[in-house]
Structure 1
Amino acid sequence: MSFRRLRPRGPFRSRLTYRSAAAAAAAVAISALAACGSASGGSTGSGSSAGGAGASGTLNWEWQLPTSWDPVTSSAGWDMHALGLVYASLTTLDPAGDVGPGLASSWTYAADGKSVTFQLRPGLTFSDGTPLNAQAVKENIDRGQAQGNSTVASELSVISKVVVNSPASFTLDLTQVDYQVPDLLAGKDGMMVSPAAFAHVSSIPTQPVGAGPFKLTSYVPDSHADLVRNPGYWDASQIHIQNFTVQDITQPEQILSALQSGQVNVAYIAGNQVASAKAAGFKIAVIPSEVVNELDIQTATAPFNNPNVVKAINYAINRQAILQVQAAGYGAVAYQPFPKGFVGYSAKLANLYPYNPAVARQLLAQAGYPHGLKITLSTVSTTNSLAEQIQGQLAQAGITATINDIPTDTETQQLYLNKSIPLAVDGTAGRMSPVEMLDVLYSQQGLMNVNGKTSTTPAEVSAALAKALTVPLDSPDYPSTLQNAVETSVLNEPTHIWLYTNPRILAYSSTVTGIPQDLVQQRWEGVRVAG
């Protein structure tokens, strides 16, 4: 996350990758990918259009490249935006976050809620010409569960067996009642990779083969990726862009220059850059999102294993001041992982820790630190502005925070895989399933639970999450059950100190039209580039 321009990093803007050292050190040419398979690839599936008819122009998007082009080894939730260019998921979420068809046209739960049967669209293929059928789905889910370095294994653990009923139908047998599975499969967990690529699985992180709206043609790690429209995408008739590039510009101050020079025509900007972008003549899209900025804290590590210390830090932070300085007021103060208006948002948590340094000092004294406390706050260089502002606020409550700069390239490795950082500036990009998001954040096995195996998930949290899984999404009881899970998690496992919500703000050229307002994953259906 870079809060100098509110560029999310951390779990969703990290540069950790499972690439080999050679791949990370050199440009990876993938021109052979474009030649793999037939351009028509057999039937293109419902809603597609032949060839590139009706598609034109190039969209140059300033955005973070993924930690891995393999959805199974991707280590950041933020990766889903880039991965969605080359992969299609079994389901999709609409702008409101409600689940709908994707590669699968429909699904039906068994009466007991412990299995769900999906129907695939007819004639689907991967960009290399491999059939995308029920057997391919089974092989993808099996790999996600079994591959040693899989980051989605825990999320897919609810699936006990994949049963292939026919080429176009499969059933997921579940270990328990779980009505969140269709939501789950709208993200990385449901992104399908061509099984033909499994023979060289180590190549997938740099040479993806999917069935998404575009195909990767060349890739330079930490620089850019070039893509071309995939005529075999199931919804290709809605993809009007012929060429697509993702350009990773790491310096915030270079973004507007890149827009003005025409190097990019769509860019992700911070709230405090909006006025400058407007003055320069660019259009602005402020898109509600599930991105929430926060601090990760190891509540199993001293001194944070004292609940009063964690509460003191919460009370010592002036979230409104942070929001104004770091994001020019775009967003909202947060005390929980979901934004207001989202089904999981709890009004009970709306003002959980109002700014009060005097209360913070009292709590420190009760925790055994009447003369103050010294801690270390870790951050990457791009988040120093936020870290420094928090440092100043904590000092007013008697907490001396030393800022520890950590390399961007190893941040996620240290924070989420090694779980070796006690306190860090961070944030979450959200997940397709809200219960999955809570699991990632608060369960013992959750990627973003920095306590890891040094502590167990509180029984109340486990019970609340389990109950939320058993309620159908269209049940009138679902909102209250989900909100109870949020409240229980936040109050009983305070391993995250929530700061403020972060809408997805895009500045773009007048030649670009039709940018959709997708809540979780940025999509490109309906977008056009003139000229």
Structure 2
Amino acid sequence: MRNPALKVAGIAAAVTLLLTGCVSQASIRQDAGGQSGDTLTWGWSLPSTWDPVTSAVGNDVHALTLVYEGITEVDENGEARPGLAESWTYAGDGRSVTFHLRPGLTFSDGTNLDAAAVKASLERGKTAKDSTIAPQLATIERITADSETDVTLHLNQVDYQIPLLLAGKTGQVVSPAAAKDPARLATRPVGAGPFILTGYVPGSQATLVKNPDFWNADQIHIANFVLKPAPDPSVAVAGLQSGQYDVADLTAAQVAGVKAAGFPVLTTDVLPVRVLDVNNTVKPFDNPKVVEAISTAIDRRALVETANFGYGEPAWQPFPKGYVAYNPELENLYPHDVAKARRLLAEAGYPDGVDVQLALNRADDPVGELIQQQLNAAGIRTKLTVMTPGVNNYITRRHPFVLDQFNARQSPVQALQVLFGPEGLMNLGKTTPKELPAAVAKAGGYALDDPAYPAAIQKATKIAVTNMPNVFLFTVTRFTAHSPKVQGLRNWVDIQRFEGVRVTT
């Protein structure tokens, strides 16, 4: 789900965009936290767009959180906590929720961030032509700004997932003035996050400075922030040693070498999972037995041990063990069985096997090569192809069979919608079992601390997984290497944040 190109005409990738049009000199003063030269360079990934409403890439949220703040946040364990809203109150019938904003909030351009601005931002998410978050806002019937600091979401059904939902891209508040020019917003964000974007070279790097007006600015100890693409495996150690990177996202293959070079590596079991996206309206994937044969032919344990260096756990569903939506009944749902996979193919009308094409995001993904070997062994003759950089398959649906990664969502109900809903980005076939929407709505109708909630959300997970074609593979581990001069970096199961992080000299 990484690295689609920006879909904004007229961007010159070779020229840094100095964002003086949306950043005041007061906002970039270096005396507003830390000393001049207190810089952290993060090797992660540049976003596909700086507009959270049109972002179609799950991984974008980490970069977007540098410049935007959500109405809520999620803590290190993925639980909802205050963000722009210092608290929230549900009506007794669960059909509305009022968020109480912190007083005196402003956007990075100096304009007021009040209830009217939050209302405008959420309404844009619901109605914008290219919005990728509209399906997640479907339960919001209307929004009212009741005062300067109180904004109420009136719901068409009981939905206690809203505080979780608004902790990610869906709840990141965009300046209404900036949103009037979506093309400009894609490269020049105006939010109220911990940093302000001051320079941007698409595909190369983004430069940011501390936002002195961020509500939690006292916890931001980094004056200057640079975001670059994660280092290539061949130069990861050199990049850390030279100071090109202070913090770098690693692959499993890089961990041993970086540790051997003496750099600390945070290892975090996170919410994302590797998955095969399958369009079940395209032959041969329109036959459920073919999809089951694929899932049965895959040796998930071998993927973990061989292609992922022993990190992660085999998965048959989109949620890891210990997560509220994880359904234990789905464990080992399709045990590895080559003979059974061949029988399923024969029953599907392919006694001599079948030819398929598996699309990869990058040619050197070892998981793709091992899956190819496993499927070939079961008579599923697999040709690997690399998707064209910058072409978003969630939009084009050109490739019906894709090795992907589901980067989770803050709300499990939202996750089910993204993966399996009729408008879900990762639902390539745009089909949905008729009983799933009702099961998802029922789960969302329970308060998060209601004893009945876990069973309800787990039931929805089972309906989705046993009726939809997605083939889940294994859970993801995040590896974050950092220079010894970086202190206070913490493990986050969801969005990476930098409160409390310092760069020492």
Question: Same fold, TM exceeding 0.5?
Answer: yes
For 1:524, the equivalent position in structure 2 comes to 498
Distance between the aligned counterparts of 2:333 and 2:23, measured in 1? 56
For 1:186, the equivalent position in structure 2 comes to 167
Which string of whole-angstrom CA distances, capped at 9 and with x for unpartnered residues, describes residues 78-130 of structure 1? 10000000000000111111111000011111111111111000110111110
For 2:15, the equivalent position in structure 1 comes to 27
For 2:424, the equivalent position in structure 1 comes to 446
2:395 corresponds to 1:417: yes
For 2:4, the equivalent position in structure 1 comes to 15
2:86 corresponds to 1:105: yes
Distance between the aligned counterparts of 2:266 and 2:493, measured in 1? 13
Distance between the aligned counterparts of 1:40 and 1:407, measured in 2? 38
Shift of 1:196: 2.1
Contact persistence 1:28–1:206 (CA under 8 A): no
Q: 1:273-292, aligned counterparts within 5 Å?
A: 273-292=254-273
For 2:158, the equivalent position in structure 1 comes to 177
> Aligned with 1:515: secondary structure?
coil
Which string of whole-angstrom CA distances, capped at 9 and with x for unpartnered residues, describes residues 174-215 of structure 1? 121111111110011111111221332320010001110000
Contact persistence 2:115–2:149 (CA under 8 A): yes
2:303 corresponds to 1:322: yes
2:34 corresponds to 1:70: no
Cα RMSD (Å) of the superposition?
1.8
> Aligned with 1:312: secondary structure?
helix
Contact persistence 1:17–1:75 (CA under 8 A): no
2:456 corresponds to 1:481: yes
2:498 corresponds to 1:512: no
Distance between the aligned counterparts of 2:119 and 2:5, measured in 1? 28
For 1:91, the equivalent position in structure 2 comes to 72
Q: 1:337-486, aligned counterparts within 5 Å?
A: 337-410=318-391, 412=392, 415-452=393-430, 455=431, 457-486=432-461
Distance between the aligned counterparts of 2:424 and 2:90, measured in 1? 26
For 1:331, the equivalent position in structure 2 comes to 312
For 1:303, the equivalent position in structure 2 comes to 284
Distance between the aligned counterparts of 1:33 and 1:230, measured in 2? 16
For 1:208, the equivalent position in structure 2 comes to 189
Shift of 1:326: 2.3
Distance between the aligned counterparts of 1:264 and 1:213, measured in 2? 20
Shift of 1:393: 0.7
Shift of 1:19: 2.0
Which consecutive aligned stretches of 4+ in structure 1 deviate over 6 angstroms post-superposition?
A: none
For 2:145, the equivalent position in structure 1 comes to 164
Percent identity over paired residues: 45
2:49 corresponds to 1:60: no
Contact persistence 2:19–2:188 (CA under 8 A): no
Query: Which structure's residues are more often helix, by fraction?
Result: 1
Contact persistence 2:307–2:370 (CA under 8 A): no
Please tell me the residue identity of whatever aligns with 1:220.
V
Change (3 A) 1:391 1:145: same
Shift of 1:234: 0.6
Change (3 A) 1:112 1:396: same
Shift of 1:75: 1.1
For 1:490, the equivalent position in structure 2 comes to 465
Contact persistence 1:126–1:209 (CA under 8 A): yes
Distance between the aligned counterparts of 1:213 and 1:468, measured in 2? 34
Deviates more, 1:23-32 or 1:354-363: 23-32
Q: 1:234-245, aligned counterparts within 5 Å?
A: 234-245=215-226
Distance between the aligned counterparts of 1:286 and 1:183, measured in 2? 24
> Aligned with 2:345: secondary structure?
helix
Distance between the aligned counterparts of 1:160 and 1:249, measured in 2? 40
> Aligned with 2:199: secondary structure?
strand
Contact persistence 1:282–1:507 (CA under 8 A): yes
> Aligned with 2:270: secondary structure?
coil
Which string of whole-angstrom CA distances, capped at 9 and with x for unpartnered residues, describes residues 243-266 of structure 1? 110111463322222112210011
Change (3 A) 1:231 1:382: farther
Which string of whole-angstrom CA distances, capped at 9 and with x for unpartnered residues, describes residues 416-446 of structure 1? 1122211011111111111100100001111
**How many residue pairs align between the two structures?**
505
Please tell me the residue identity of whatever aligns with 2:271.
E
For 1:46, the equivalent position in structure 2 comes to none
> Aligned with 2:59: secondary structure?
helix
2:89 corresponds to 1:114: no
> Aligned with 1:503: secondary structure?
strand
Contact persistence 2:236–2:258 (CA under 8 A): no
Shift of 1:312: 0.6
Distance between the aligned counterparts of 1:39 and 1:313, measured in 2? 54
Structure 2-normalised TM-score? 0.96
Contact persistence 2:23–2:108 (CA under 8 A): no
Please tell me the residue identity of whatever aligns with 1:27.
V
Please tell me the residue identity of whatever aligns with 1:119.
H
Please tell me the residue identity of whatever aligns with 1:29.
L
Distance between the aligned counterparts of 1:39 and 1:390, measured in 2? 50
Distance between the aligned counterparts of 1:31 and 1:460, measured in 2? 49
Distance between the aligned counterparts of 2:31 and 2:463, measured in 1? 51
